[in-house]
Structure 1
């Protein structure tokens, strides 16, 4: 009786898990298309090339600024070349 039950339920469970996995993977792909939030860094001087300021985004939009200075995405401790944009509310 136990073996008969397992033989009929196990394949259904495996198929259900496979379908659930496919849907969750597809949802993760959609989530990666959303806004990417980054800390905006300001160029101050050679001694302080990248100083953290406020949260910005990589999505298209108006430039992200802090006290009139455009903010950038930091690549290394001395390099922040990519301008960021304001987070749209």
Structure 2
């Protein structure tokens, strides 16, 4: 009787632990993506080849564009792309 109960309960326990582990890992990955700050730059020319460093921003779209001084009236900031141009929109952290 004892081994029969173990054979029935053990797979359920293993499945429950695997499910909890999967959800925990997924939540940790989402938090790590949102927590990564990125430097915001002001475009100094229309081609965005010359940029000036400013405040820290985020790549996570929360609906609020990152601006100088994190103020609504500040100039819009951008992140750099692979061609080293400041054209990537960044958002308020």
Task: State the TM-score, normalizing by the size of structure 1.
Answer: 0.52
Q: Residue 35 of structure 1: CA displacement?
A: 7.5
In structure 1, runs of 5+ residues without a counterpart are: none
- Any conservation in 2 of the 1:49–1:79 contact (CA below 8 Å)? yes
The CA RMSD over aligned residues, in Å, is 4.1
Hey, which bits of structure 1, 4+ residues long, moved more than 4 A? 28-36
CA distances 1:42-89 after superposition (whole Å, capped 9, x unpaired): 23468x7234322123321254115x54310111252121333333xx
- For 2:29 and 2:84, the matched residues in 1 are separated by 32
Structure 2 unaligned runs (5+)? none
CA deviations on 1:13-52 (whole Å, 9 max, x unpaired) are 3122233135335645865896874321223468x72343
| Paired position in structure 1 for 2:68 | 65
What is the TM-score normalised by the length of structure 2?
A: 0.51
**Structure 1 residue 9 displacement after superposition:** 5.0
Query: Matched residue pairs, number?
Result: 84
